[in-house]
Each structure stands twice: as C-alpha cells, then as structure tokens.
Amino acid sequence: MSECIRLTNIRTTYTGRTVLAIDRLTLHSGRIYTLTGANGAGKSTLLSHLALLTPPTSGEIIFGDRTVSWNNGSLRHLRRQVTLVHQSPYLFTGSVFANVAYGLKLRGVHGDELKRRVESALNLVGLGGFGHRRSRELSGGEAQRIALARALALNTRVLLLDEPLANVDRTTSDLLTAVIAGLPGAGTTVVMTTHDPEHAERLGGDRIHLVAGELANPLTGVKLSSNEGDELCRLSPKPAALFSIA
C-alpha cells in the first residue's frame, strides 16, 4: 500500500495555544478515512493542512514523494492534486453544467471531453440531466450533490470532504455515502469529516479521531502513542463493536 500523505511532528498554534499536535500520521493511497472529534478538536485545521491551504506552525508534510514547501511554485502543482469540498459549498450563479465544468476548464479540459466528464460526474451523484438547471434553483441537498460532482469531475488524487452528510436527508445521505465509499476503488484517497458516529460507521474506512488536537483511539478517547498514527487501520474499530444502530 503506497503512502499518499505523511505528517510528521505537526504543531499548529494560534495566539500561543497549540490546537493541533500530531507526531505521525500516514494516509495511504486508495483508502478512505473518517475524521472525527468534538467541536474545536482540530478537524478543520487538519483538513486545511491536508488541502495544502495553510501550513502548520511547525512540522513536515510529505505529499507523494515530495516534501511540501510552503513558499514556492511547486505548491500550485501539488494543490491541483487535492480537492476540498466545504460544508456549505459555494455554487456560483449560472447553470449546473457551468459549475461542474469550472475547475475542468481551468485545467485545460474542453469540448467533448469536458462534456463527458461533467455528465459522468452528474450521473455519479444521481443528477444526470441536471446540467441545464440554474444553480440558484437547487435544493440544499441537490446543491451538496452538485458540489460533490464538481469535485469528482476533477478526479484528483486526494478528496477532502467537510461534513458532506450533515445537512442532507437520509436518501441523499445514503446515495452520497455509496458514491464516496466507491472512490478508493479508483485510487482516490478520501478524508471525510463528520460529527455523526453513524456516518463514520456507514462509510467504513479508517478513523482519524482527534481529542483536543491530538490523535486518539476512537473507542476509548485515549491519546495514541506517537507511532500509532501510522497504523490507523489496526486501531479503527469494527462498526459493530463501536455503535449500535437502530
């Protein structure tokens, strides 16, 4: 199993307060991770580092085989391999097609290839045929699915999803869960944050659980020792052992 992202000795501090302290964390290619933790545990901060949007105060991030350097042009190249879908994604005024096509066009995809990739992404989220709809006329759940389609169309190496299931009904949640669960098969590394243990269980994958900015066992809340962040799959509980669902 090849390494996709490795974090070493990460410390992130705001006004003198350490909000993230991760000695080692390794994410593998083609795996799915659910990122859990209470409000303020550091999930968004970690997601922002993984998206290469903000640097930690100290420590090292290795992306693929490259150490991330925060102040040179290579960052732009690396960022193109990561997509972050925000909890309340912004769709600009215009058609659904234009929204999904936007990032592809920036990457130089045009014509039939553009059309094919947009339609295939819309089909994946169950909204085939929605291309002509106005984005402002979508329901919240539909907008969430379009935002996911926009990310899927880019087919990046890493997909980061911030609470994609938080504001959708059960049917949409099931559909999105099935789509997300299928992504590692295509080689994508997925990290999805959630407050809801049931969502984490339904999606499966390995758990990255944070307690006050540190990696912890999702079952017990006990902080991990420094090398356990490399072995999350060993620590991730089997669903039935963790939660019972009605």
Ligand X SMILES: Nc1ncnc2c1ncn2[C@@H]1O[C@H](COP(=O)(O)OP(=O)(O)OP(=O)(O)O)[C@@H](O)[C@H]1O
What does the binding site for ligand X look like in residue numbers (CB under 6 A)?
Answer: 14, 19, 37, 39-45
Our CB check for ligand X shows the closer of 9 and 54 to be: 54
Instruction: Answer whether 138's CB lies under 8 Å from 122's CB.
Output: no
User: Encoding tokens for residue 123?
Assistant: 């089909």
The rounded distance, in Å, linking the Cα atoms of 242 and 240 is: 5
Buried b (16+ CB within 10 A) or exposed e, 199-208: bbbbbebbbb
Residue 57 pairs in a beta bridge with: none
Tell me the closest approach of the beta carbon of residue 213 to ligand X, in angstroms.
7
Our CB check for ligand X shows the closer of 12 and 99 to be: 12
Which residues have a Cβ under 8 Å from the Cβ of 157 and sit 6 or more positions away?
Answer: 4, 29, 64, 81, 82, 187, 188, 189
Instruction: Check residue 12 and report its DSSP letter.
Output: E
Decide: helix, strand or coil at residue 233. Answer: helix
Decide: helix, strand or coil at residue 169. Answer: coil
The rounded distance, in Å, linking the Cα atoms of 74 and 78 is: 6
Residue 82 pairs in a beta bridge with: 158
Our CB check for ligand X shows the closer of 126 and 197 to be: 197
Tell me the closest approach of the beta carbon of residue 222 to ligand X, in angstroms.
18
Our CB check for ligand X shows the closer of 44 and 120 to be: 44
Tell me the closest approach of the beta carbon of residue 201 to ligand X, in angstroms.
18
Tell me the closest approach of the beta carbon of residue 46 to ligand X, in angstroms.
7
Tell me the closest approach of the beta carbon of residue 122 to ligand X, in angstroms.
29
Residue type, 152: L
Our CB check for ligand X shows the closer of 37 and 131 to be: 37
Tell me the closest approach of the beta carbon of residue 15 to ligand X, in angstroms.
6
Our CB check for ligand X shows the closer of 135 and 144 to be: 144
